[in-house]
Structure 1
Amino acid sequence: MTVTAPSATTTETAGLPRPYQSYVYAYPHKTSYRPLAPRPLLRDLWAGEPRQALSLYLHIPFCEVRCGFCNLFTRVGAPEGLTGRYLDALERQAAAVREALGDEEPVRFANAAFGGGTPTFLEAEELARLCDIAEHRMGADLRAVPLSVEASPATATADRLAVLAERGTTRLSLGVQSFVEAEARAAVRPQRRADVEAALGRIRDSRIPVLNIDLIYGIDGQTAASWRLSLDAALAWRPEEVYLYPLYVRPLTGLGRHADPAAADRAWDEQRLRRYREGRDHLLAHGYEQVSMRMFRRADAPPQGPDDHACQTDGMIGLGCGARSYTSSLHYSFDYAVDMREIRAIVDAYTATEDFTRAVHGRYVERDEARRRHLLQSLLQAGGLAVAEYRERFGSLPHEDFPAELAAFAARGWLADTGPDLLRLSPEGLAHSDAVGPGLFSAAVRAAMAAYEPK
C-alpha cells in the first residue's frame, strides 16, 4: 500500500486536516528520492555502519493481476524467462552487497521479508532459489529469524507453501481485501470467496505459525454490514494478525484513471473513519491488540522478531528493483514508477545490470531528518515513543525539536496524556495516523515529493 505525496493545500474543517492524506510506512518517501551524483560505492556507504541487527528485504515485482487500488512497483505477468533473469540479477546484486558489507565484523540479520508485487508469483523451485539467495549469498539464516512472505489467494498453492514452510517462513500475509465478491470487483480485484477460503485452508495446513489477513475499507458500495461480514469471515480463521487498510485512489492506478474527484471529499473521509472504528472495535472485542492504525495482533499470537530490533535505528538491506536500503545517512533504491510501461522498462534495466556496487537513486538523511524519522516511526506505533531513548540518541527532547507539530497534535486531541516519559497517540490520534505522519514531513521532503512527476 504505497502512497503519493500529500497535497500541499490541505482542506480543513473545524481546524482538523483531512484524515486520509498518505500511508507513511517509511520516511522519507521514495517520491523524494533523486538520482545520486556521484553514485557512492556501497562499501563506502556501509563502512562503520552497525551490522548486528539488519533487516533483509527481497522484492519480487510480479503479480498475476493488478488491483485497481494498487500503485506498488509491480508488473502483471512475466514473459518467458523473465523471472529467471530477474533472479539472476538478484543473485548478482546480493553478491555485490554482501561483498560491500565486508567481514570486519559479523553480519547479523534480525529479520527477513519477501515482498512485492507477489513473491508467490514465482514457482515453487524459484521460491527455493530465492531462499538460497538470501541464505547462501547474503548469509541470512532463514530458519533462525522471523521470515515474512506476502501472497495472494491465487498463488498460495500447496507446493509453494510447502517450500516456504520448509525454509523457515514464520509469517504469511494474504491480501484478501474483501470476502464480498461485489466489493472485490469494485476494487478491480476479481476473486471468488470460495477460492479465498481454499487458499486460507492451504495456509493453515502448511502450519506456518502466523497468518495475516489484509482487509480494505472504503470500497465503493461497502456498508457496515458488508464490512462486518468480511471481518467475521477473516476471524473465522483465527488469524494471528489482521491489517485494516483504508482505500486510497491514487494517480496512474486502475481506480485512479476513472476516479470522480468528488470521491475524495469529506463524505468519503467520514465513511472510512466509521468503517475504521467499526473494524477496530470489532477486533478489540475479539481478543486482538492494536499495534498501529492498521495492524492488529491476536493477544495470544507468537511473538514476531527479537525485542531489541528497532526500525528507527537498525539498517536495512533491500534486494530487487523495487526495494530500498537504509544506512544511517542515506536511503537508497532504484528508480520508482507506477505506470506499467515505466515499470517494465525499469525491470528490464535491472535484469540487464551487471554492476551493483554503487547506489544509484536515493536521499541523504541529515540530522534533522533522522529526528523526524525516529519520532514519526515511533509515534505511529500504538506503544509510542520512550522520551529517554530519543534523548539518549539525539541529546534533546522531542518537544524541543518539534514544538509546533506536537502542539498541533495535542490541540486536536491526538496525543494521549501519558506524562513526560512517554509520547503516544490517543485512540483518536491513531485513527488519524495518515494525517499525523504527513504532519511531521520536513519542508524539504514535502517540496521534493511535490516536485516528483508520477510516471
Structure 2
Amino acid sequence: MTTTTAPPTAATRTGATPYQSYVYAYPHKTAYRPLPHRPTLDSLWAAEPKDAVSLYLHIPFCEVRCGFCNLFTRIGAPDGLTGAYLDALERQADAVREALGDGDEVRFATAAFGGGTPTFLTTAELERLCDIAEHRMGADLRAVPLSVEASPATATADRLAVLAARGATRLSLGVQSFVDSEARAAVRPQRRADVESALGRVRDARIPVLNIDLIYGIDGQTEATWRRSLDAALAWQPEELYLYPLYVRPLTGLSRRGGGPDPAWDEQRLRLYRAGRDHLLAHGYTQHSMRMFRRADAPPHGADDYACQTDGMIGLGCGARSYTAALHYSFDYAVGMQEIRAIIDDYVGATDFSRAEVGYSMDAYEARRRHLLQSLLQAEGLRLDDYRARFGGSPADDFAPELTAFGALGWLADGDPETLRLSPEGLAHSDAVGPALFSPAVRAAMAAYERK
C-alpha cells in the first residue's frame, strides 16, 4: 500500500473524544492483511541492519481473561498445548535465525516476554522459553534488558526465581486496582491480599525494575479510591508505574456497556488521569509518556542505542509482530475466543515458518508518519535533527495540517526550537493525538477490518 498525500481530515478529528484508542504500535494489526506473495524471511531481512534488533516472545495463555482485555490470548490450556506451543516456537525460532544469518552483525539490544501471561508457563517451560531466546535466537539474556509480564496469581516464587536467574531486569505486574470491588467491576477476580503477596515475592526475587499497571475509569471508581490504589502501589516503591485509561472494546467482557460517545466518562477519566499524574510527580516520579511514570532514582533500564522508531523487531509466537523497514508482519489477529483458539491450533501445527503471512507494507510516507507518531507520544518528544537526518525534511513540511491542529488546541509545547513535543495537555490527550496521525490508508484498512 502506498500513499502520497497527507490526510486532509486529520485536523478535524483532533477535537473528538480524548480516548479514541491506545496507540502502542503503528499501524495497528487490524490494518494488516494476508500477503499475497508470502515473502520469504531471508529476503525481508537481507538488507536490514541487524546490530540492534528487539526480540519479543509471545505466550498466548492466561488463567482468566479480564473484562477489558482484547489481547490475543486464550483462557487456560488443555494438557499438552503449552508444550506443543513451545515446540512450534522452537521451529519458528530456527527458521527466523536461519533467515537472519549467522554473521556477527546480528545483535539483540533488548528482549521481552509478553502475552497473554508468560508466567502462565511452568518453571520448566519458562526455562525452555529462555533457552529458545538464548540458544535458538542467540540473545544473551543476561547482557540485555529483559522485560517479562506477569499476573499476581502466576507470579509465584519458583517462576520468579527462574526469571531472575536467567537475567530478567524488569517484571511488569498487572494489578489494575488494589480495591477489590473495582477489580470485580473490571471482571478481574483477585483480592488485594493476594496482590500484596505477589508484590512481596517480586521484591524478594530482586528483579531490578518492578512495574505496576493500574487502570482508571472503572465503574464506581472515585478520586478517593483511585488515590487508595496509587498509595498502595507507591508503598512498594516501584521503579515504574503505568496508568492506563479503561477502554471498552468490542468482543470483550465489558463490551455490553457499549462503546459510543460518553462525555461524562471522558471527563471522569481525564480527571482521574490528572490526579494520578500529579500524585506521582509529587512523589518523585518523572513522566515519560501519558501512561509511563518512572521513579527518579530508579536504576537505568533499556539500551541506549535502541530506538523503537528505527530499529527492527523480531516477534516469535502467533500473537507477535515483526518489523522491517519495508514490512510489518505477523500471523492472523482475532479477539474472539473461538477464533483465537483456531489461530493457536494452526500455529502449533505449522511446520514452515520461512515466510511472512500477514502484514502491512511500509513506504517512506508511512515510515515518516510512524517516526513522528511514536516519538511525539513520548514526553521527551521528537528531535528535529534526528528527523532531518533520517528523512531529509521536517515534520512541519510533511504534516502541517496535523501539527497546526495540535498547536491550535494547545497540545504542543513551546520553548525548544529543536524539539517537537507535546505540552502537558497534549500528553493528556495522547489517545486523540495518536489516531489523528493515522494515514488515510491505515484508517481505511482498520475500518474495513472484520472483527472476529
Q: 2:401 aligned to 404, 417, 421, which one? A: 404
Q: Distance in 2 between matches of 1:16 and 1:414?
A: 11
Match of 1:425 in 2: 422
The Cα shift of 1:10 comes to 10
Please tell me the residue identity of whatever aligns with 1:163: V
* 1:171-222 CA distance string (max 9 Å, x none): 0000000000000000000101000000000000000000000000000000
Q: Does 2:416 match 1:416?
A: no
Please tell me the residue identity of whatever aligns with 1:315: G
Q: Distance in 2 between matches of 1:307 and 1:116?
A: 25
* 1:329-357 CA distance string (max 9 Å, x none): 10000000000000000000000000000
Say if 1:261 and 1:295 are closer, same or farther in 2 by CA, change over 3 A.
Answer: closer
Match of 1:272 in 2: 269
**Matched residue SS, 1:253:** coil
Q: Contact 2:41/2:355 (CA < 8 Å) preserved in 1?
A: yes
The Cα shift of 1:385 comes to 0.2
The Cα shift of 1:160 comes to 0.2
Root mean square deviation, CA, Å: 1.5
Matches within 5 A, 1:431-450: 431-450=428-447
TM-score (norm: length of structure 2): 0.97
Q: Distance in 1 between matches of 2:142 and 2:233?
A: 28
Say if 1:67 and 1:21 are closer, same or farther in 2 by CA, change over 3 A.
Answer: same
Match of 1:135 in 2: 134
Q: 1:259 aligned to 257, 260, 274, which one? A: 257
Q: Which runs of 5+ in 2 are unaligned?
A: 1-8
**Matched residue SS, 2:219:** coil
Q: Distance in 1 between matches of 2:132 and 2:70?
A: 27
Q: Does 2:323 match 1:326?
A: yes
The Cα shift of 1:306 comes to 1.7
Q: Does 2:106 match 1:97?
A: no
Q: Contact 2:249/2:259 (CA < 8 Å) preserved in 1?
A: no
**Structure with the greater relative contact order (CA < 8 A, sep ≥ 6): 1 or 2?**
2
Q: Distance in 1 between matches of 2:190 and 2:12?
A: 38
The Cα shift of 1:419 comes to 3.5
Matches within 5 A, 1:219-258: 219-256=218-255, 258=256
Q: Does 2:66 match 1:70?
A: no
**Matched residue SS, 2:425:** helix
Match of 2:32 in 1: 33
Match of 2:361 in 1: 364
Please tell me the residue identity of whatever aligns with 2:355: R
Match of 1:176 in 2: 175
Match of 2:87 in 1: 88
Q: 2:337 aligned to 336, 340, 345, which one? A: 340
Q: Distance in 1 between matches of 2:282 and 2:161?
A: 34
Match of 1:315 in 2: 312
* 1:413-455 CA distance string (max 9 Å, x none): 0000033211000000000000000010000000000000110
Q: Contact 1:418/1:424 (CA < 8 Å) preserved in 2?
A: no
Q: Distance in 2 between matches of 1:320 and 1:393?
A: 31
The Cα shift of 1:261 comes to 5.1
Q: Does 2:66 match 1:58?
A: no
Q: Contact 1:284/1:290 (CA < 8 Å) preserved in 2?
A: yes
Identity %: 78
**Matched residue SS, 1:154:** coil
* 1:108-156 CA distance string (max 9 Å, x none): 0000000000000000010000000000000000000000000000000
Q: Distance in 2 between matches of 1:242 and 1:227?
A: 14
Q: Does 2:162 match 1:163?
A: yes
Q: Contact 1:12/1:18 (CA < 8 Å) preserved in 2?
A: no
Say if 1:364 and 1:10 are closer, same or farther in 2 by CA, change over 3 A.
Answer: closer
**Matched residue SS, 2:298:** coil
Match of 1:189 in 2: 188
The Cα shift of 1:308 comes to 1.6
Q: Which runs of 5+ in 1 are unaligned?
A: 1-8
TM-score (norm: length of structure 1): 0.96
Q: Contact 1:114/1:148 (CA < 8 Å) preserved in 2?
A: yes
